[in-house]
Amino acid sequence: MANKKKYIWCTYRDWSFQILEAIQDISDWETGLIVTTQDCIYDFQKFENRGIPIIKIESKKAKVEFQRGGVVYDKIMQIHPETIIAPGWSWYIPKEILEYCPCVTYHPGKLPKDRGGSPIQNQMRNGEKWTYVNVMKQEEGLDEGGIYLKKKISLDGYADDVWKRMTSAGVLLTKDYLRGMGSGSLKPMPQPNEEPTIYKRVKPEDAELKPSIQSATQMHNIIRAHHETDPNSYVVPAYISLNRNRRLDIYKVLLENIYNKDVIDISLNEDYGDEIHQMINRVNNNDTLLALTDKNNNRLYLSQVNLRLKR
């Protein structure tokens, strides 16, 4: 045990913790520390039972805690990790730590395309069919670091489906990364010299569907991209605004009525009363579909919905 190399794992996302659970069988490495947020929702008992120390920090103090004098900084200096792995970590890591040992993150994109925030959501919203999971060296510039390893994954289905692929690809990539770092054979390759594209992080209002200006395909992609059930996610489900200060959250959708079910056309201008609860119950009970008509008079079929108050 004393001869094992140590890495530090920084994350607050479910898929990243699932990768960490899966790589505990690597013989030459051990998790020296987990850094997460105080409000992270996860069952840490499996890690605690293995004696892995865990630091929970306030999100707003994440940058400070990695700087000299911060609790994370001090722990890093005590542990002397060979590498820091930060899949899904959303906060800045100071230059001094980036230069102390190799620090990597996992970024989904066809780099240098797809840099920036919410890369999975943005690529799905754009209708892209596939992407790469990149084990990328962290640099001060936004997603500019060299690529150690990458693996292609599909963007079909819903965001939750993509995160499952991200997880399984991440397990394989992490094992290859640690083995390569352990042998000294792995070096980052510069990103291609191409014009980058930089995304902005999706906001709650980006999840609103607007049938008068969006096509059925566009709305379909937005719904797929925003179907994320990680309790630590900042992404809200796609929705349509109704009268009475209510919204209809949409979880599952079809571009065609392939089951030939009964269809109820929903109007955003109608002031629905109690009958909307009957409609929602029938949809969620798989008895019927709600249909939205887009700007081109094409229909989009809603197959799983929930009534909420507007935020």
Location of each CATH 3.40.50.170 domain in the chain: 5-199
What residue type is 39 in one-letter code? D
- Span 5-199 CATH architecture: 3-Layer(aba) Sandwich (3.40)
3-state secondary structure of 18: helix
CATH topology for 204-309 is: Methionyl-tRNA Fmet Formyltransferase; Chain A, domain 2 (3.10.25)
**Backbone dihedral region for residue 260 (phi beyond 0: left; psi -120 to 50: alpha; all else: beta):** left
By the 8 A CB rule, do 227 and 237 touch? yes
Strands across the sheet containing 83-85: 54-57, 29-37, 5-10, 83-85, 103-108, 130-137, 147-154
Location of each CATH 3.10.25 domain in the chain: 204-309
Strands 288-293 and 83-85: unpaired
What burial letters (b/e) apply to 55-75, b meaning 16+ CB within 10 Å? bebeeeebeebbeeebebbeb
Q: What is the pLDDT of residue 272?
A: 82
Cα–chain center distance at 22: 18
Q: What is the pLDDT of residue 311?
A: 66
DSSP-assigned beta bridge partners for residue 30: 6
**Backbone dihedral region for residue 169 (phi beyond 0: left; psi -120 to 50: alpha; all else: beta):** alpha
3-state secondary structure of 176: helix
Pure H helices in the chain: 14-22, 45-49, 62-65, 71-79, 95-100, 119-125, 159-183, 216-225, 275-284
By the 8 A CB rule, do 304 and 286 touch? no
Q: What is the pLDDT of residue 245?
A: 84
E strands, the chain, are 5-10, 29-37, 54-57, 83-85, 103-108, 115-116, 130-137, 147-154, 198-199, 238-242, 246-254, 262-265, 288-293, 299-309
The structure tokens 């990790």 sit at 81
Q: What is the pLDDT along the chain (311 residues), one digit of tens a residue?
A: 458 999 999 999 999 999 999 999 998 999 999 999 999 999 999 999 999 999 999 999 998 999 999 999 999 999 999 999 999 898 989 999 999 999 999 999 999 999 999 999 999 999 999 999 999 999 988 899 999 999 999 999 999 999 999 999 999 999 999 999 999 999 999 999 999 999 999 999 999 999 999 999 999 999 999 999 999 999 999 999 988 788 999 999 999 998 899 999 998 888 888 889 999 999 999 999 999 999 999 999 999 999 998 86
